[in-house]
Amino acid sequence: MPPNPRVTKAFRAMKAIGISEDKVKPVLKNLLKLFDKNWELIEGENYRALADAIFESEEAEAIEQSKKIVNNEEGYLEEEAQVNEEPERPFKRSRLRNREGEASPSLNNTSLPGTSLVIPKEEQDELRETCPQNQNQSQGIADSPQPNTGKLRSESQAAACQLLGKNKEELPVSTKSMMVQERCDPSRPSAVNISQQKIRLRTESNSVSHPMRLRDRGKGTLSPQIPSGEKRSSLAGCRKEPKLEPSIAVLPKQKTTTSHVLIKDEPVTYDVSQLEVPITVIQPDPSSIGEPSSGNGSIRENNGPDPLASQSMGEKGTADGDPISNETRNIGELARVSDALGAKGAHFNSLDGSVSSQFDEEVVLPQEPQLPPPCDGVDDGMQLNKKASENYCETNEENKENDLEDTNFQHVVVSQEHQLTPETIRSLHDVVDIAKGQERVVITLVNEVNNKSPPSFFYIPKNAVFQNAYVNFSLARIGDNNCCSTCSGDCLSLSMPCACSHETGGEFAYTTDGLIKDEFLKECISMNRDPEKHCQYFCKECPLERSKNEDIVGSCKGHLVRKFIKECWWKCGCTIQCGNRVVQRGISRNLQVFMAPGGKGWGLRTLEDLPKGAFVCEYVGEVLTNAELYDRVSRSSKREEHSYPVLLDADWGSEVVLKDEEALCLDATYYGNVARFINHRCFDSNMVEIPVEVETPDHHYYHLAFFTTRKVKAMEELTWDYGIDFDDHDHPVKAFRCQCGSRFCRSVKRPSRSRTLRR
């Protein structure tokens, strides 16, 4: 994309007054957002707004910086004291976006991620005290051929005072901070109005409960006592491009070593309540399934695998080569997983070339995400489909009786405790097998918490390619060095590991019991919990940032360079029972989807004890390009309760510039498997995600598999650490109010240590 000439001009104007492009870039980006890309406001008076914002940003950072230094010193003393009391407290992760030198802590408090415009609350107070009322500082500035920095600064202070005096009480702190950064020049009321409008918008959007984002970043470590909003200082590992933003102050190193104690295997979970026996198990009505999703969608009926498609599934997903197409999606028509047992059996190809049974007729997907209103802790689930769900209940009432006769699974237990009315009972759909027989095991769904209906989505056991995602693999492209065509039987029994072990250093990642080897697991866990000790890659041109399609491509927040497992595959000579084929054999554990306590929505738990290193499930969804994901997210006008995308960024570091169609993610919003129910837990989650190469050595596409990090008891909730950046509101995978209950929760804002000390 050629550079926007207006951006170039802005850079030039700032360069003329000695401000480098690096400093201008983040601020300009945020101003564009703030002003809704109204360039006139930025260009006016010889880029005064821009210069002003840059200076304000520098000031704010300097203040934060000095406060941070004081805090760190104080905090360190406190940390040292606490470490003795809590010997098992591990590092806390920050975001990679918080890496050393990238941004000052104040930035985390803003609803403009990456901006350096925020003035901390204390500074607002300062401003309130120092600025004279009713100033009109604009005079003289307009005459100046270049931005008058001194005046501009005092002008914005005056503006800040005005705004603070007027509106501050009505707004949350982050918004107050934003207001301070707003230009409030009386000579330019329109700018103020726009800013204020924008503030209002942002205030609203910030109140939305945001869904998850994944581990593309956010894996910095913080010492446990550091509030999650604060930044981590050290640049460690073998980052390839720790490009520092010159405009942003480098933070002092935190003294983390003293508090770094590795967590033990048995972190306390708070899900004891889940040990109760499910109170309701209601069979879904089979008759409703085919209909809601019929139409001219592009997941087509297929009478058998197309040999070409099954060997070269790059070719966009479905058996007849059709991708799951945007155009064919209809709003409001999303099949329900509770339709499961009645699936009439259409088919579409998944990425392993297998054909999944879905529906008789072509599936019509929704145009927009069908997510429900924000989570209030009670009203979990897929509200937007409530209507469908109600219809479902009514119209299928009579079928229910028949179903009850037809299946052994079906039973309804009414809880006295919950005093359920007949209506409520009707709406409690506990599902016998959400996988509709597509997994090796039956996966039930129960709700013992509220009367939320089962979620609506299509269960698919394997990934399916959406429109533009380019997943190009074929047997022909897999050379002998990427497979073990001369093997037979079980590769794990060989005295010399076969070629498929090369990816893991000549040793298989699995034990003969099908568990991940301790060493390998340990490293994967450590990578997640303490990413700064591992390789992180900072893209020259980050596909994620690029997909935001903004005038200025933001700088990469970093991606972990991950360890892959490579499993044997079609072209290998071994059998499907080979010990180096774990993930591809699918789910083998007894799992259950259940309504999790604490407002997290549905969750996944195990019904059997699991050993450490056990494969649980793969994250399955639609394979999308990042751009497609952004498109989906931005087209969604609704307030989404949960979100389900995961970036496949484990190998982005191997490309200088990744093509748009190669930067992929998985979205399980509409199509997914049990993994879409796995809730997040900060730091001490009982599962870790590991990239697994199955079909193709091209790591643009891979499988994301979950393995237990420790022994997990039956009925425990299964969790993984999304690596979420709770302060990033600019990511397609949104943050949410974390209810993980972990004592290392990153979303819990701890009181400032310095404040504690001062008291």
Ligand X SMILES: C[S@@+](CC[C@H](N)C(=O)[O-])C[C@H]1O[C@@H](n2cnc3c(N)ncnc32)[C@H](O)[C@@H]1O
Q: Which residues here bind ligand X, judged by CB under 6 A? A: 211-212, 375, 380, 455, 600-603, 641-644, 676-677, 679-680, 736, 738-740
Q: Which is nearer to ligand X, 651 or 717 (CB)?
A: 717
How many angstroms separate the CA atoms of 550 and 538, rounded? Answer: 19
Handedness of CA 412, 416, 422, 423 (dihedral sign): negative
Residue 376 structure tokens: 């209030």
Residues marked active site are found at: 619, 722
Going by C-alpha positions, the residue among 575, 656, 717, 520 that lies closest to residue 240 is 656
Place of tokens 């699936």: 343
Least distance CB 736 / ligand X (angstroms)? 4
Cβ–Cβ under 8 Å, residues 330 and 295: yes
Q: Residue 221, by phi and psi: left (phi above 0), alpha (psi -120 to 50) or beta?
A: beta
Least distance CB 732 / ligand X (angstroms)? 12
Q: Which is nearer to ligand X, 702 or 706 (CB)?
A: 706
Least distance CB 385 / ligand X (angstroms)? 12
Cβ–Cβ under 8 Å, residues 15 and 174: no
Least distance CB 34 / ligand X (angstroms)? 27
How many angstroms separate the CA atoms of 79 and 81, rounded? Answer: 5
Q: How far apart are the first and last CA of the chain?
A: 54
Q: Which is nearer to ligand X, 212 or 491 (CB)?
A: 212
Handedness of CA 67, 727, 647, 594 (dihedral sign): positive
Q: Which is nearer to ligand X, 569 or 677 (CB)?
A: 677
Least distance CB 672 / ligand X (angstroms)? 9
Least distance CB 540 / ligand X (angstroms)? 30
Q: Which is nearer to ligand X, 557 or 680 (CB)?
A: 680
Cα three-residue angle 13-19-23, rounded to 5 degrees: 110
Going by C-alpha positions, the residue among 713, 712, 719 that lies closest to residue 687 is 719
Q: Which is nearer to ligand X, 219 or 753 (CB)?
A: 219
Handedness of CA 690, 694, 700, 703 (dihedral sign): negative
Q: Catalogue the long-range contacts made by 7-13 (C-beta closer than 8 Å, 24 or more residues apart).
A: 7/551, 7/552, 9/43, 10/42, 10/43, 10/47, 10/50, 13/46, 13/47, 13/50
Least distance CB 225 / ligand X (angstroms)? 21
SS3 content of the chain, % helix, strand, coil (to 5): 35, 10, 55
CA distances from residue 187 to 117, 138, 183, 226 in whole angstroms, order as listed: 21, 7, 11, 43
Q: Which is nearer to ligand X, 528 or 739 (CB)?
A: 739
Bridge partner residues of 679 (DSSP): 719
